[in-house]
């Protein structure tokens, strides 16, 4: 296809314009980039052959409006998904982090719901080498929490499913626990952090101005009920048991592992287990019980 034909080919023009306005170094560099030149061989001073000028603006200035608006819109979207992280960093540093992230992980999805999916990974990949500083881990934990909130909100839930029969579950004798598997709800997430970032995020949501949290091992369960994303801080023992159950261990084996790791005293287990199951059933942590054949 000749250059003159390309100018009048809408798909070619669309691909060229996307490459130009999303170029990290600006529109002019985007026009001259190899990727854009593969679609349309054009110098910046020839831009008027594709984009007409207006009475007030040159062709380049008109195109730059789209380039600036593209990144501004994506930064705004990321700020809506990561409000606590934006608060922790400050508006300008947050925008700089997002801009750098979009160069490493450019938007490739039709939906903005996927835009921040790799942001926690990016923060982890680019964290400073100074291991004495703990603030990078705080930011990574915070970003992971907020991204999990978004995933749980947008994902599959249990609202249209039949709740577990708690009485039927309670009637299964301990002798069958080695065959008893609990199938986790699709909206259940388990997060282990070095900081209580859930408290920081809640404070920001309440329009407070919290300071960075002190380092403290934190175990969170994230779930959804009636289309509301909720979180619950739990102790290490309950968290480890949930981990084993979510991984597919039968209840009996999961409990054996818990006791073997000295996560809980054997005398305390019956009462704690009763309380845990009551809470799990109330908030529908598990969607199905399977008693497998021996």
pLDDT the model gives residue 42: 79
pTM of structure? 0.85
**Mean pLDDT, rounded, for 56-63:** 81
- All domains of the chain in start order, with CATH: 3-81 (no CATH), 135-291 (3.90.930.50)
Cα separation, 5 vs 19, in Å, equals 19
Contact between 111 and 155 (Cβ < 8 Å): no
Instruction: Name the band, by pLDDT with cuts 50, 70 and 90, for residue 8.
Output: low
Cα separation, 164 vs 233, in Å, equals 23
Contact between 27 and 60 (Cβ < 8 Å): yes
pLDDT the model gives residue 84: 98
What are the two backbone dihedrals, phi and then psi, of residue 186, each rounded to the nearest 5 degrees? Answer: -65, -20
pLDDT the model gives residue 27: 80
More confident residue, 192 or 261: 192
Statement: residue 4 has pLDDT above 70: no
**Mean pLDDT, rounded, for 253-266:** 90
Does the CA dihedral 28-30-34-40 come out positive or negative? negative
Instruction: Name the band, by pLDDT with cuts 50, 70 and 90, for residue 237.
Output: very high
**Mean pLDDT, rounded, for 6-24:** 77
């Amino acid at each position: 296809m000749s250059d003159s034909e390309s100018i009048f080919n809408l798909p070619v023009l669309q691909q060229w314009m996307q490459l130009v306005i999303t170029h990290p170094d600006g529109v002019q560099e985007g026009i001259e980039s190899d990727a854009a030149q593969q679609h349309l061989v054009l110098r910046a001073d020839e831009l008027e052959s594709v984009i007409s000028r207006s009475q007030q603006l040159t062709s380049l200035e008109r195109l730059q409006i789209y380039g600036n608006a593209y990144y501004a819109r994506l930064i705004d979207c990321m700020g809506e998904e990561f409000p606590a992280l934006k608060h922790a960093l400050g508006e300008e540093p947050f925008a700089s982090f997002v801009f750098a992230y979009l160069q490493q992980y450019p938007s490739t999805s039709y939906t903005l719901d996927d835009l921040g999916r790799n942001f926690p990974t990016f923060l982890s990949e680019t964290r400073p080498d100074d291991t004495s500083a703990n603030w990078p881990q705080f930011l990574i934990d915070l970003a992971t929490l907020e991204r999990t909130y978004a995933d749980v909100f947008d994902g599959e839930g249990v609202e249209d499913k039949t709740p577990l029969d708690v009485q039927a579950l309670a009637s299964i004798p301990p002798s069958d626990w080695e065959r008893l598997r609990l199938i986790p709800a699709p909206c259940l997430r388990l997060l282990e952090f070095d900081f209580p970032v859930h408290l920081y995020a809640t404070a920001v949501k309440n329009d407070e101005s919290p300071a960075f949290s002190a380092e403290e091992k934190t175990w969170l369960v994230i779930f959804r009920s009636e289309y509301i994303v909720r979180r619950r801080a739990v102790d290490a023992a309950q968290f480890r048991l949930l981990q084993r159950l979510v991984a597919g261990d039968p209840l009996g084996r999961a409990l054996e592992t818990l006791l073997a790791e000295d996560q809980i005293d054997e005398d305390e287990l019956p009462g704690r287990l009763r309380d845990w199951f009551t809470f799990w059933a109330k908030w529908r942590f598990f969607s199905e019980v399977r008693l497998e054949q021996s």
